[in-house]
Amino acid sequence: MEHIVIIGNGISGITAARHIRKKSDLNITVISSETKYFFSRTALMYVYMGHMKFEHTQPYEPWFWEKNKINLIQDYVEKIDFTNKSLTLKNGSPISYDKLILAVGSKPNKFGWPGQDLKGVQGLYSYQDLLELEENTKNGIKRAVIVGGGLIGIELAEMLLTRNYPVTFLIREESFWGNVLPKEDSELIMRHMKEHDVDLKTATELKEIISDSNGRVKSIITNKDEEIACELVGLTAGVTPNIDFLKGSDIELDKGILVNEFLETNQKDVYAIGDCAQFKQHPKKERKPIEQVWYTGRMMGETVANTICGKRLAYNPGHWFNSAKFFDIEYQTYGWVFNTPIENEEHFYWEDSSRKIALRIAYDKDTRLFHGINLYGLRMRHHAFDKWLTEKRTVEYVLEHLKDANFDPEFYKSYEPEILNEFNLKNNTYVKPKSKSWKRILSFNS
Amino acid sequence: MKLLQKIGLIIFIIGITVFTFSPFIGSYKVTNDILKSTLSEQQYANLSEKLKEKLVGKRFSYTWEISSVFVNEYEFKNETFKNKHEWDKVMHDNPQDIALSITKSSATGFYINNILLFFLISFGFGVLGAIMYFLPDVILLGPPGIKNNNIYRRPSTNRGLIAYFVFAYLIGFYILLYFYPAQLTNQILLVNPLSLLLNGHPASRWFLYGVLYCTVMLTMAVRMYIKYRHNKYQIVRTTSVLFFQVAFAFLIPELLIRFNQPSMDFKNAWPLNYSFFFDWNINNLLNSGAIGAFMLFWGIVLTLIIVPVFSYFYGKRWYCSWVCGCGGLAETLGDPYRQHSNKTLKAWKFERWIVHGVLVFAIIMTAAALYTFFTNENTLLGIETYSIQKAYGFLIGSIFAGVIGTGFYPIFGNRVWCRFGCPLAAYMGIIQRFKSRFRITTNGGQCISCGNCSTYCEQGIDVRWYAQRGENIIRASCVGCGVCSAVCPRGVLKLENGPEENRIIENPIIIGNDGIKLNL
């Protein structure tokens, strides 16, 4: 029987393993140096915050792996011999494979800052990073500086604030997550961060990290030559594929492991999925060659499982969607909303009086084609927008049927009238909300 | 703010300490009149001689000095009668209950003369201190939102020493309440004035329990209102359970007593209300005129029509987390412990056996009770029907629902009874699973498997298992508390009632991946 070896037990690798098992009796081995069991990386923050214990982040009980005959090895792969199809492990004896899936994930970016390897300077990606953060803060700290204004940065800020450690947040751009979020959206999040006492410094870069006499961080200096005393520096300026161990081997690399649309590398029977994969040409032209998102990792895992089991399948992600939570404000997005309108595009932005709930819709000025939606503090049905995007609905159609998409808990205030009112005022239209229809909602799923 | 919390905590501790240690500050004097008024003629005839010698005229500092003498004497006499085969003289009441009547009437001195003062110090300080402790959270917790911060870092909510202390305290309280009520004499006396005011009779131990239940729920509801102030579902639901507890479980039954009517909690449906079809209850209702007949009729309609119909439309949540008293306490006092329910598959298997086992037990017991009611035969298949009732009352009514049900909160989560023991929940669960419009909808492919939903599910449902597969959650045990939806950081879960069509998704596909169209 063929032996499928998967390196990496994150969402991509584990999804691949599960789907291969569903479709076949192949031998499956998953190797990870991080942890024995799969856990949800996105949930590590909740462990530090005391919402959960680490074991709660594991979606499957230990018996699951045995029952499904998925062999788990906790070890570090040092080298891959692609010619002889074998792996050298740090501790265990070598393992040979028939097919290999590289799902090795990412590591935090470090841009060569002076002092970036000092004690008390760290990223936040792996389980080991979580342990390091506990260690770095075990005696309490007076201030932390976070460098990098994206999703991991704001999560780290939230984590530290639950333990009442003051946080200074350096953002290189003019506003938070500015390469993704439009101005008002970003400002809404920044207002909320300030409400949580985050000391925000926009358009500010890290210049240098200063050491104390023990090789531990004592302060940082910004590009504006301001010195900020701190005991912890969080480097959260994005992540980069974790492929150092492959350098010098025959596998074709760029920033990540280069793959075609079938997730195949240049080596026979070797595939790469998830954070570490880089498309030579992405099957969807509007997408970036490296997708470091939970959901895309999962989809690549599903896709490669088909290929492994004999049904060669190209990666074909559907309409873009994503989500996050910024302190107390939930964010969902469906379709594409860029930080500035694309050609011939109009953005409609609405904010409620609390200035914490908002919605932004991108659409074509002439054809009225709906492009995408950003939601803050509002929950909406994924199925609804997936369907509407496929059916190429207009912005007016979407607004008219917004109540069908509403996914907020029962008894929550319904904002549709306000939203439509504002849209009508701005556009001189007369769109009226239709009442919720279960018939239409059920048709989303078909 | 923190200071205010600390002062609140101190005041609360003073209140609960006075409440807990009140048995040590009383004095009791038993008189012959008290014996005459609390004992039946038969009991007086059997026991008065020895009791006069050992109890009457003496002053005691502790209730157990009286109750132990009384219970010993009572049991000794009964033994003697049995040995002599003098069956007509054997007494059939619970000596602990009678001991309580004696100690209540015998209280004397500073404590009983200042009972209002002690009521204010115990109940008043307890409530005031707790509210002072909770209120600053409006500011301390920061802007509204899910704030489960440090729950797993505190000994009180992470099975630390404080949790074990609360565990022991609650279990101790329930054991005294059910089996040694005389030892709670001074606590019962605290609510005596309130009882006289409401129902016109001196307080019973169940009146104390009712007052405590309402007080604890009201106080802990303040905490719920603050914690979930951003979540209207939680606010409305908490208000609903509070209303049904205070009005239906407490005030209406007490007022019915005042007007010499049979007391009834109109929302308490059989088989949770397991004694409803016992012959004494049916006879009592049948002998109480129109109102009694209505109560009997209502009780039957509640179980046979209202419960299944409402469960069809709204799932069992309409009862378990909107109406029920057990659920009400679990959702208020128990909320800090909801994360301790066991989520393993093993626990789920155990749950299905035991909760349906209790339902079968309740049905058999009730069938036997009705058999006795209609035929006047006391035995069925050689078993005394009364003994089945007694066994159920002891094992399920007292031990499971009370001692384990509430006592286990701090260690095993707040819904141990509702999940593993409640026969009504089992009954509604079957409806919810197979014929209902209720479901928790999973929002497409948005789940990130973080585990907050499963962790905070008080019923031990591994919500994530379904959510991460894009599958709706249809589980018999779900009480619809809505907390999984509340704690989800990505807006993945929604409790809703809708058409039965497509409620259960057999082979879900996670949308978002156009390459995968079928789950095969």
Span A411-443, pLDDT tens digits:
999 999 999 999 999 999 999 999 999 999 999
**CA A296 – CA B515 distance, rounded (Å):** 12
* Closest CA–CA distance from residue B486 to any residue of chain A (Å): 8
Question: What domain count does chain A have?
Answer: 3
In a domain, B41, yes or no: yes
CATH for A144:
3.50.50.60
Give residue B49's domain range.
27-108
Asked if the structure places residue B259 within a domain, the reply is no
Asked if residue B59 is part of any domain, the answer here is yes
For residue B512, what pLDDT band results from cuts at 50, 70 and 90?
A: confident
Quick one: A95 and A73 in the same domain?
yes
The Cα B34–Cα A308 span in angstroms is 87
Does residue B92 lie in a domain region? yes
Percent of chain A with pLDDT over 90: 98
- Residue B53: the pLDDT is 85
Question: Which residues span the domain enclosing A437?
Answer: 321-444
Give chain A positions within 8 Å (CB) of B490: 323-325, 330, 332
Q: Is residue A325 part of a domain?
A: yes
**Cβ-defined contact of B143 to A196 (cutoff 8 Å):** yes
Cβ–Cβ gap B464/A316 under 8 Å: no
Is B496 part of the contact surface with chain A (CB cutoff 8 Å)?
yes
**What is the average pLDDT across A143-172?**
96
- Sole residue written with tokens 């462990």: A47
Extract the tokens encoding B126.
């307890």
- Which conformational region is residue B416 in: left (phi greater than 0), alpha (psi within -120 to 50 degrees), or beta? alpha
Q: Looking at the domain assignment, is residue A397 inside a domain?
A: yes
Q: Please report residues of B whose CB lies closer than 8 A to that of A53.
A: 152
Question: Residues A47-98: pLDDT tens digits?
Answer: 999 999 999 999 999 999 999 999 999 999 999 999 999 999 999 999 999 9
- Taking each helix axis from N to C end, the angle separating B325-332 and B232-243, rounded to the nearest 10 degrees, works out to 130
pLDDT beyond 80 at A157: yes
When mean pLDDT is compared across A95-99, B366-370, B459-463, the lowest value belongs to B366-370
Is there a single domain that holds both residue A34 and residue A128? no
Residues 149-188 of B with CB under 8 A from A: 149-154
Q: What is the mean pLDDT of residues A111-126?
A: 96
Q: What is the pLDDT of residue B50?
A: 86
Does A47 reside within a domain? yes
How many domains does the structure of chain B reveal? 1
Whole-angstrom distance, CA of residue B374 vs CA of residue A6: 70
By CA distance, what is B152's nearest residue in A?
A: A50
The phi-psi region of residue A318 (left if phi > 0; otherwise alpha if psi is between -120 and 50; otherwise beta) is beta
Tokens 């006092």, located at residue: B333
Share of chain B above pLDDT 70, in %: 99
Q: Is residue B442 part of a domain?
A: no
* Cα–Cα distance measured from residue B445 to residue A299, given in angstroms and rounded to the nearest whole number: 10
Q: Are residues A294 and A247 in the same domain?
A: yes
* Nearest chain B CA: its distance from A294 CA (Å): 7
- Mean pLDDT is highest, among B282-291, B372-381, B470-479, for B470-479
Please report the number of interchain residue pairs, chain A to chain B, with beta-carbon separation below 8 angstroms: 172
Query: A102 and A244: one domain?
Result: yes
Q: Average pLDDT, stretch B256-279?
A: 91
The whole-number average pLDDT for the span A112-138 is: 97
B415: in domain: no
Q: Which pLDDT score, from 0 to 100, does residue B518 have?
A: 60
Overall average pLDDT of the B395-421 stretch: 93
**Least Cα separation, residue B450 to chain A (angstroms):** 5
Mean pLDDT, chain B, integer: 93
- Residue B520: pLDDT over 70: no
End-to-end CA distance of chain A: 38
Q: Are A382 and A358 in contact (CB under 8 A)?
A: no
Using alpha carbons, select from A331, A339, A325, A401 the residue that is nearest to residue A370: A401
Residue B56 in domain: yes
The residue among A219, A237, A255 that closes a domain is: A237
**Residues of chain A positioned with their CB less than 8 A from the CB of B464:** 59
- Write out chain B residues lying below 8 Å of A163, CB-based: 150
Contact A299 B512 (CB under 8 A): yes
Measured distance CA(B312)–CA(B39) in Å, rounded: 50
Q: Give yes or no for B113 touching A (CB within 8 A).
A: no
Identify whether A316 is part of a domain: no
Our CA-based measurement puts residue B265 at a distance from the nearest CA of chain A, in whole angstroms, of 28
Q: Is residue B349 part of a domain?
A: no
Predicted confidence at residue B386, as pLDDT, reads 86
In terms of Cα–Cα distance, which of B465, B458, B455, B510 is closest to B487? B455
pLDDT bucket at B109, cuts 50 / 70 / 90: confident
Q: What is the DSSP string of B434-485?
A: HS-SEEEEE-TT------HHHHT-TT---HHHHHTTT--B--TT-----HHH
Of the residues A308, A336, A353, which one is the last residue of a structural domain?
Answer: A308
B519 pLDDT tier (thresholds 50, 70, 90): low
What is the rounded radius of gyration, in angstroms, for the C-alpha atoms of chain A?
23
Within this chain, do residues A332 and A408 fall inside the same structural domain, yes or no? Answer: yes
- Lowest mean pLDDT across A356-360, A434-438, B368-372: B368-372
Cis omega (within 30 of 0) for bond into B271: yes
Task: Kindly report the nearest CA distance between residue B215 and chain A, in angstroms.
Answer: 27
B449:A11 CB<8 A: yes
Residue numbers in A near B485 (CB within 8 A): 409
Mark whether A96 and A36 lie in a shared domain: yes
How much is the average pLDDT of A257-268? Answer: 97
Distance of CA B179 to CAs B392, B409, B422, Å?
15, 20, 21
pLDDT band at B377 (very low <50, low <70, confident <90, very high): confident
Residue A273 domain-assigned? yes
Nearest-angstrom CA–CA distance, A312 and A261: 11
Residue A315 forms part of a structural domain? no
Any residues with CB less than 8 A from the CB of B491 and at least 6 apart, and which?
A: A323, A330, A332, A379, A380, A407, B443, B446
Examine residue A249 and state whether it is found in any structural domain, yes or no: yes
Strand-pair category, A329-335 with A370-376: antiparallel
Q: Tell me the shortest Cα–Cα distance from A114 to chain B, in angstroms.
A: 35
CB atoms within 10 A of CB B134: 20
| Contact (CB, 8 A) for A186 and A177 | yes
| SS3 readout for B110-177 | HHHHCHHHHHHHHHHHHHHHHHHHHCCHHHHCCCCCCCCCCHHHCCCCCCCHHHHHHHHHHHHHHHHH
Query: What region, left, alpha or beta, does residue A42 occupy, with left being phi > 0 and alpha being psi -120 to 50 degrees?
Result: alpha
Average pLDDT, integer, range B454-475: 96
B2-51: pLDDT as tens digits: 899 999 999 999 999 999 999 998 899 998 989 989 999 899 988 888 88
Q: Given this model, what pLDDT does residue B89 score?
A: 86
Query: Could you tell me which of B380, B207, B143, B365 has the C-alpha nearest to residue B275?
Result: B365
Which pLDDT does position B387 carry in this prediction? 87
pLDDT band at B312 (very low <50, low <70, confident <90, very high): very high
Mean pLDDT across the stretch B196-217? 94
- Asked if the model's pLDDT at residue B261 lies above 90, the reply is no
Rounded CA gap, B495 and B473, in Å?
Answer: 9
Q: Which residue has the tokens 């009592």?
A: B284
In chain B, whose CA is at the least distance from the CA of A58?
A: B451
